[in-house]
Amino acid sequence: MIYVDIILPFPVDGFYTYSVEEDLSFDIEKGKRVIVPFGRKRFYTGLVKNIHNNKPQGYEVKPIMAILDDKPIFNEKHFALQDWISSYYMSSPGDVFKAAIPSGLRLESHSNISLKNESFHLFALKEKELIICNQLLNSTNVSIISLNEATGLKNCMPYIQSLLDKDIIEIEEQVGAKYKEKKVKYVRLFSDFSESEISHKMDSLKRAVKQQKLLLTYLNLSQRYIQQKELSVQQSELLKISGCSSTILKSLCEKEILEIYSESVSRLDKFEGEIKSLNILNEYQDKAHKEIVGQFKEKDCVLLNGVTSSGKTEVYTHLIKECIDGGRQVLYLLPEIALTTQITKRLQAYFGDDVGVYHSKFSDSERVEIWKRLKSDNPYKIILGVRSSLFLPFENLGLIIVDEEHENSFKQQNPSPKYNARDAALVLANIFKAKVLLGSATPSIESTHNTKIGKYGYASLKNRYSDIAMPEIIISDLTEARHKKSIQGVFGPHLYKEMLLALENHKQIILFQNRRGYAAYLQCNVCGDVVKCKDCDVSMTYHKYENKLVCHYCGYKTDLLHKCPSCESIDVGVKGFGTEKIEEELEKYFPGVRVARMDLDTAGTKKKLDVLISNFEEKKVDVLIGTQMVTKGLDFDNVSVVGVLNADSLLNYPDFRAYERSYQLLSQVAGRAGRKGDRGKVIIQTTQLDNPIIGYVQNGDYEGMYNFQIIEREEFIYPPFYRIIEIDVRNSDVCLLQDFSHEFSSRLRQIFGIRVFGPHEPLISRVQKYYIRKIILKIESKSSLSKAKSILKKELEVMCAAKKYKTMRLAFDVDPV
């Protein structure tokens, strides 16, 4: 008997073993998806990890139900990456499996409920039970979700169980495929009619005017001429242009004049423009290109430090061309979905349909089709995507470009696995014997440190394209402006003046505020209390568009309060400002200005984001207000002024990376100004003129910032000199949480000594009704991190063996950002 170890999409360490019946034994292979039973009635998609003849002892082994793939979807190289991520980031194989493939490729069973006894009215039933039975009487195979909606209950399971006990209903598990091919209906002639036969058909329809009109429309659309075969026409297009109904078309099909058929079509957009040659690199780009190629001979990873608007993308395109000309594939990683629209257009102009795009704003079906294309005989040569693109089934990867490598968006936060795509890219490249290029105008301190110790190669681009000057950075003192009462709403005098001038010259403006919504919080002016989320220890943000207070952590919403819940005073008001407030202020102080917002509220879908970027590119928008989205690599020609409305919120964040991130964000958003033509201006509004980071940003002094921070990192034992493992402990019982976290940290302290910090309350100490404590372990970079992780897991097993701690929720975050 053959047995297989299966990875199932559960957060459990290890695998589940199943048997393989003889009729499936010839088709089973490592890396194929299979359907397996789990529990009494559930079915899941699993991934074959190992095949062996070792029968498990102590329990009855269930057989696999079906094999889903003709060929393995993963090979040894793909498994190597998944195994590394699971091991390094202390996550389960099941969590990695869920992250690795789109949900459209994971089949799961769902419970369907149907009425077994239609004489339910003879039973003594409760009101909700009667509602369920009546719903089932008119429907078949109803889901639990639809019954919840029908009864108005969040959980109707107790009533379902009661009806099961009375043998009135029955439940059946069904497995359904989430991905379905997209079918489009086409119309063609029923037969290869001659011209005379077509004329005869037209004459036969003289009394059926609408049928004749539809046939004539079809002939015009299909461009049928003598000695030329007909072209098929989409049914929807034919009906729309002819103005006829589907009934008329059906009549022509019944008369065997036309016929309808379906074809599978791709959901993915095709490039229909002309392919153009690569631009010739300028002197500085060519020098950087040669530096990179030269460094690749000795190093597997090179850092390209290029100032904003220096033309790093042009250097990338030449490296991509050289790689694919050599018969290998390229992965181009971006930190933000917002960037893909502009970069996609640029790459497709050079490489056409060889470019595939992959990110979470695509539907599951679209992502499945990317997978299918990569597994086909004509795979994409270039994939442009975000962090999840690492898991795609590449066959011959030769180059990975990680653009804006400093961005913390490359780090997966939730759910597990909490991997960093930049670091995982290095492992993936090593598996494929490929090269990695990290690019940034403001590299991370860790990457720069790696170049200085010789681990990475280094290349630079210090000049902007066409030698355009770097923008002038003006620091605006908000404290002085408030004293002089010279602030116009949220606009200080410097910013207000420059905005007026830019608008007069028909230039565009970008305003950066790292908070969406209208106001940061609602506060009582009598007792000082701030309205917080009922489930999270965080203030509620006011969104004026919805007229709601919203929690940005759990999504809870409530109406705007007009009375303090603590002291019942009516003297309450909103404080601070977000992107919505700025939009309102612009309409007040700059009448007639065309404004757009780029934040999670306005750019939540791929279509909305594409429209927003397109409108700004086409100069249909004068001022673009945005959160961090606007800082990340967007390239607009006509922007002359960038305003940072509140730099203090970045500088004061309680995190050891706060100064590094502040420098990166401020420098990156400043780089959006003056990318073409005249020198741009950047106005940074702050009350902290003496903060060293403000000076480094104003002078474009990355080396100064790096030297300042690297000394602090070494002194206070932070990366890159130490590795960090953060242990997140959560429970709804705060006393139990306190006991566990203190006991666990004490046990760890006995082993690791002063390397253990905490437990402590994080800035947000409760989320979704769960209280949170953090324990931090710092390990010297030269020590064995794997040994430390092994000890952590063993100690955790001992702790969780205690019955009172069974409800604890723990998560490890290796190398948190």
Q: How far is CA 284 from the centre of its chain?
A: 34
Q: Is the pLDDT of residue 186 over 60?
A: yes
Domains of the chain by range and CATH? 2-100 (3.40.1440.60), 109-176 (no CATH), 182-265 (no CATH), 283-410+425-466 (3.40.50.300), 472-516+579-712 (3.40.50.300), 519-576 (no CATH), 722-814 (3.30.70.600)
How distant, in Å, are the alpha carbons of 22, 47, 71, 72, 457 from that of 26? 8, 17, 12, 14, 48
Q: Shortest CA distance to 89 belongs to which of 812, 624, 817?
A: 812
pLDDT for position 109: 63
Count other C-beta atoms under 10 Å from residue 392's C-beta.
Answer: 24
If one counts every other C-beta atom within 10 angstroms of the C-beta of residue 8, the result is 18
Sign of the alpha-carbon torsion through 548, 551, 552, 557:
negative
Which three-class secondary structure state does DSSP give residue 56? coil
Angle, CA of 649, 654 and 655, to the nearest 5°: 110
Taking each helix axis from N to C end, the angle separating 235-242 and 246-254, rounded to the nearest 10 degrees, works out to 110
Tell me the angle at which helices 692-699 and 702-715 cross, rounded to the nearest 10 degrees: 150
Identify which of 266, 262, 271, 270 has the alpha carbon closest to the alpha carbon of residue 366.
Answer: 266
pTM score of the predicted model: 0.84
- Residue 127 pLDDT > 90: no
Euclidean distance between CA atoms 669 and 651, whole angstroms: 15
Q: Distance between CA 606 and CA 268 in Å, rounded? A: 13
Structure tokens, 74:
């993963």
Is the pLDDT at 96 greater than 70? The verdict is yes
DSSP letter string over 167-233? TSEEEEEEEE-S---EEEEEEEESS---HHHHHHHHHHTTT-HHHHHHHHHHHHHHT--TT-PPPPE
Task: Show the CA angle centred on residue 617, arms to residues 611 and 618, nearest 5°.
Answer: 85
Res 174: pLDDT: 63
Residue 238, phi then psi, degrees to nearest 5: -60, -45
Q: What is the pLDDT of residue 225?
A: 39
Residues in Cβ contact with 83 at an 8 Å cutoff, skipping those fewer than 6 apart: 93
* 577: three-class secondary structure by DSSP: coil
Kindly tell me the sign of the dihedral angle through the C-alpha atoms of 701, 702, 705, 710: negative
Q: What is the rounded CA–CA span in Å between residue 753 and residue 739?
A: 20
For residue 495, how many C-alpha atoms fall within 13 Å in the half-sphere facing its CB?
30
Under DSSP, the state recorded for 530 is B
Average pLDDT of every residue of the chain: 90
- Per-residue model confidence (pLDDT) at position 226: 39
CB under 8 A, 24+ apart: contacts of 590-596? 590/499, 590/500, 590/503, 590/623, 593/503, 593/622, 593/623, 594/620, 594/621, 594/622, 594/623, 595/621, 595/622, 595/623, 595/624, 595/625, 596/621, 596/623, 596/624, 596/625
Residue pair 421/459 in contact by the 8 Å Cβ criterion:
no
Terminal CA-CA length for the chain = 48
Higher pLDDT, 5 or 649: 5
State percent of the chain over pLDDT 70. 96
**What pLDDT score was predicted for residue 176?**
57
| Token pair recorded at residue 69 | 């793939």
Q: Which 8-state DSSP code applies to residue 409?
A: G
pLDDT tens digit sequence for 50-93: 999 999 888 889 999 888 888 999 999 999 999 999 999 999 99
Q: Over 90: is that where the pLDDT of 705 sits?
A: yes
In 657-697, which ranges are E strands? 681-686
For 738-769, the pLDDT digits (tens) are 999 999 999 999 999 999 999 999 989 999 99
**Dist CA 233 CA 358 (whole Å):** 30
CB 795 within 8 A of CB 776: no
d(CA 127, CA 96) in angstroms, rounded, equals 45
Which pLDDT tens digit goes with each residue over 219-252?
Answer: 888 764 333 444 678 899 899 999 999 999 999 9
Looking at residue 154, its pLDDT comes to: 63
Q: Which two tokens stand for residue 181?
A: 């091919």
Is 159's pLDDT higher than 90?
Answer: no
**Angle at CA 733, nearest 5°, toward 731 and 735?**
115
Contact 699, 658 (CB under 8 A): no
The stretch 432-461 carries a mean pLDDT of 97
List pLDDT tens digits, range 287-324. Answer: 999 999 999 999 999 999 999 888 899 999 999 999 99
The count of other CB atoms within 10 Å of the CB of residue 651 is: 20
